[in-house]
A and B are shown apart, each in its own frame.
Chain A
Amino acid sequence: MVQAIQYLICGILWMVSSVITIWKKNPIGIIILALMHGAEAVIIGVKTGLKYGKKLPYSIVMCMTFGFTWWLPLKKQIEAETFTDDDFIRRPDDCIVDGKGGLVR
């Protein structure tokens, strides 16, 4: 839901910039958005998308459109789900339910 709202805000930004560009003949908004998202795409966005398993054209389009609201959640999930063998070792107090909706770790 949060991501959907973020996407919506991005869409509104693009629309407002487009209207200003056409109506006021001032493309500054679109240029700023494109430069920001382009920089994100080149530096980290596309790389993250590819690592997550998304295709190159899809990653470029999504990153150019939505910027960090697209690639940041992917990056967080990759970090959360990147494990070493150490993460799978069972420890004595690991994974014990505490009876209050929590795990004792």
Chain B
Amino acid sequence: MSATYEKNAVVITPAPELNYFHNYVQLPYDYGRPSYEARADVKAIKATVRKSLDDLDKATGWKAKFRGQKVLIKPNLVFVTPKTGYRYNYDIPQTTDPRVFDATMEVLSELCPDIVIGEGSGLVTWTYCKMAGYDRIAKKYGAKLVFFEEEAIDRYFCPHAECGQEVFVPKSISEVIRGERLYVSHPKMKCNIYTGVTLGFKNAMGTFSCNMRYRNHTWQIDKKLSDLLYLFKPDLTVVDGIIGGEGNTPGPNDPVIMDTIVTGTNSVEVDRVVTEMMGFDPNKNKLLIEAGKRGFGDPNTEVIGEKKIVHFRPAEQTLLSERVHKNWPGVKLYVGHTNDRAPKLEKLEGNSHEFVEAMEATCGGGCIASMGTTLEVMFASYTYPLNKNRKLNVIVGPGAEKDGVKYWVGEDGKAYTLRELEEMRGITVVCGECSAPAKSAATPFLWIRGCGEVNNLAARFAVAMMPTLPGQVDLHYAPLIVTGMARKYVIKVAKAALGTPTEPHFDAYSDRVYTIPEYVEKNIQEDWVEAPIPKLSFEDRIQAIKDVRFFANFMF
């Protein structure tokens, strides 16, 4: 069974004020040797993590629950980008600091004989683990390193979930769900363009395979991630707040000095505390609201330590921000939605900026955020000066209806018809499945299907920016990245052919509720039940191979 605590606590532990800017993304060459252990930063981090976990143990007794148990620990890897990857002169703080992770592993390895380090970055996890040094950490502690996207999947049914009742997870996570393995979430303290912040329980997004990841990767993303808590939740959360990350993660973000480790037994409460420390109101964060609504928080949680508040630059889930206008003066947004969440279009001229913003925010966690991420990557790339003034019209949504005619509202407050959009100069991108009514306005190849599918979207944007190549270009690591892509693709195809697929069918074409009708009829009361995947026929295996979409898996 997973660990249950009589009392939950969150411990905030300050680290000594040092310069932690050496090796916060990649471990140094001498990791594990006396010279590494003697470094002032390593000693300080180890002492801070140990103190935080010891204090948490005094408050909750977590160590007794973990002693002798099997554990799965999940860091948060997105891109692993040393400064050579972009035109910035600092490493990009998107990944759990491997020095902090090593310190946590040191404590856990004293308690637990069987540790699995598992991660699915959504990109090439094998490569990123090598780049960051997680393979060396696993070797040092005798832990097994698993890459979730390469594992065969199991299926579950969560009857209480609002939008993700059918869930596919890798086999290693099944062990956590069945209570055979405890789960430690080890995120980095950072903002996120989709969910505001990405911390303890949002880290579970990395357990999804590529096709599963994009289901409800829309305005429902907060519901989807909170639904996942019915299936499994962290037994321990350790937040790496030594150097935080502000801005539009998962695009390149900026480092923030925090000097803090936060640990806790209830991840929703840990996230609540850390969100506040980042200068945001946790009561306004949709992700935390959804998790709270489902009863996964604990209002009686004891908070130990002083909340050091540093105001992070927020992630901006919009293409209408000053930052986007300044960095990309040629990008113009036209947005129109007709749904319950959208404001009603009353006039064809002179709509206010707030009106356009409200229209855009209708599907904040989907295409808009994915485009924001992509533009942030392109802004950081070496080729940005060549692309800065590129004229790009972006159309989102099925159109807002007025008098039976569909309109898309521009930043100038004017509502445009499809005919007007078709006649616009420059390159036009039509983004998202719901935007199909406007696809005739798209430049060839630039109608982007799916909902918020970042890799597809980034690829099309790269085409829109041709002939330059915008994005992360790191020639030094290119061979390792290409090897990682090929490895991932071959493994996934081989497993699909053998009848143990790593991906469900790609069906993220709407914001519908993903469910299993025959299980709905059973009126199940538990939080979850196993819903075994039927044995695959020959035709199913061919389809499973096709579902390892070459483009999605080979892009990054």
Please provide the chain A residues from 53 to 105 with a CB less than 8 Å away from any CB of chain B in the complex.
53, 74, 77-78, 81-83, 85, 87-91, 94-95, 97, 101-103
Interface SS of B by simple majority:
loop
Binary contact readout B39-51 vs A (1 if CB under 8 angstroms, 0 otherwise): 1110000000000
B146 at the interface (CB under 8 A from A): no
**Is there an interface contact between A95 and B479, defined as CB atoms closer than 8 Å?**
no
13 contacts between A and B (CB under 8 A): A2-B475, A4-B478, A4-B479, A52-B29, A81-B22, A85-B40, A87-B19, A88-B18, A88-B39, A90-B18, A94-B19, A97-B90, A101-B86
Asked if A90 contacts B22 (CB within 8 A), the reply is no
Contact A1 B475 (CB under 8 A): yes
B481 and chain A: residue at smallest CB distance: A1
- Does B28 sit within 8 A of A, measured CB to CB? yes
Q: Is residue B257 contacting chain A, with contact meaning CB distance below 8 A?
A: yes
A97 B30 Cβ-Cβ under 8 A: no
| Chain A residue at minimum C-beta to C-beta distance from B255 | A97
In angstroms, how far is the closest chain A Cβ from the Cβ of B21?
5
For residue B300, CB closer than 8 A to chain A, the reply is no
A52 CA to B542 CA in the complex, in Å? 46
Contact present for A53 and B33 (CB under 8 Å)? yes
List of B residues within 8 angstroms of A88 by Cβ: 18-20, 22, 39-41
Q: In angstroms, how far is the closest chain A Cβ from the Cβ of B179?
A: 40
B33 proximity list for chain A (CB < 8 A): 53
Is B476 within 8 A of A3, CB to CB? Answer: yes
Residues of A within 8 A of B288 (CB): none
Size band of the B side of the interface?
20 to 34
- Check if B443 is an interface residue, CB within 8 A of chain A: no
- Knowing A52-B29, A53-B29, the reply to whether A102 touches B90 (Cβ < 8 A) is yes
Give, as a whole number of angstroms, the nearest-CB distance from A44 to chain B: 16
> Are A101 and B89 interface neighbours, CB within 8 A?
yes
Chain A interface size, under 10 / 10 to 19 / 20 to 34 / 35 or more:
20 to 34
CB–CB B89/A102 < 8 A: yes
A5-30 CB contact bits vs B (8 Å, 1 = yes)?
00000000000000000000000000
Provide the bound-state CA to CA distance between A19 and B256, in Å.
Answer: 57
Q: How far is the CA of A53 from the CA of B90 in the complex (A)?
A: 26
Residues 86-105 of B, flagged 1 when their CB comes within 8 A of A and 0 if not, give 11111000000000000000
Residues of B within 8 A of A103 (CB): 21, 89-90, 255
| B17 contacts A by Cβ under 8 Å | yes
B39 surroundings in chain A (CB, below 8 A) = 83, 88
| Cβ distance B237 to chain A, nearest Cβ, rounded Å | 26
Contacts of A78 in B (CB 8 A): 29
CB neighbours (8 Å) of A102 from chain B are 88-90
Known contacts A2-B476, A101-B88, A102-B89; A91/B29 CB under 8 A: no
A89 touching B19, Cβ below 8 Å: yes
Question: Quick check: B254 and A97 within 8 Å, CB to CB?
Answer: yes
B260 to chain A, nearest CB (A): 14
> Is B543 an interface residue when CB atoms closer than 8 A count as contact?
no
B351 at the interface (CB under 8 A from A): no
List residues of B (1-44) whose CB comes within 8 Å of A's CBs.
17-23, 28-30, 33, 35, 39-41
- Other A-B contacts than A81-B30, A89-B18, A101-B89, 13 sampled, CB-CB below 8 A, are A52-B29, A77-B29, A85-B40, A87-B19, A87-B22, A88-B39, A88-B40, A89-B19, A90-B17, A94-B21, A95-B21, A101-B88, A103-B21
Q: Is B367 an interface residue (CB 8 A)?
A: no
Q: How far is the CA of A71 from the CA of B475 in the complex (A)?
A: 18
Question: Do the beta carbons of B22 and A1 come within 8 Å of each other?
Answer: no
B380 beta carbon closer than 8 Å to chain A: yes
Measured CB to CB, the nearest residue on chain A to B38 is A85
Q: How far is the CB of A102 from chain B (nearest CB, A)?
A: 5
Closest to B33 in A: A53
> Which A residues are in CB contact (< 8 Å) with B30?
53, 81
- Complex formed: what's the CA distance from A97 to B92 in Å? 12
Question: Are A81 and B18 in contact (CB-based, < 8 A)?
Answer: no
* Cβ contacts under 8 Å, B478 to chain A: 1, 4
Picked from B86, B257, B380, the residue with its CB within 8 Å of the CB of A95 is B257
| Distance, CA A2 to CA B474, complexed state (A) | 10
Interchain nearest-CB distance for A83 vs B (Å) = 6
Closest to B32 in A: A53
Chain A residue with the shortest CB-CB distance to B474: A1
Identify the closest chain A residue to B256 (Cβ): A97
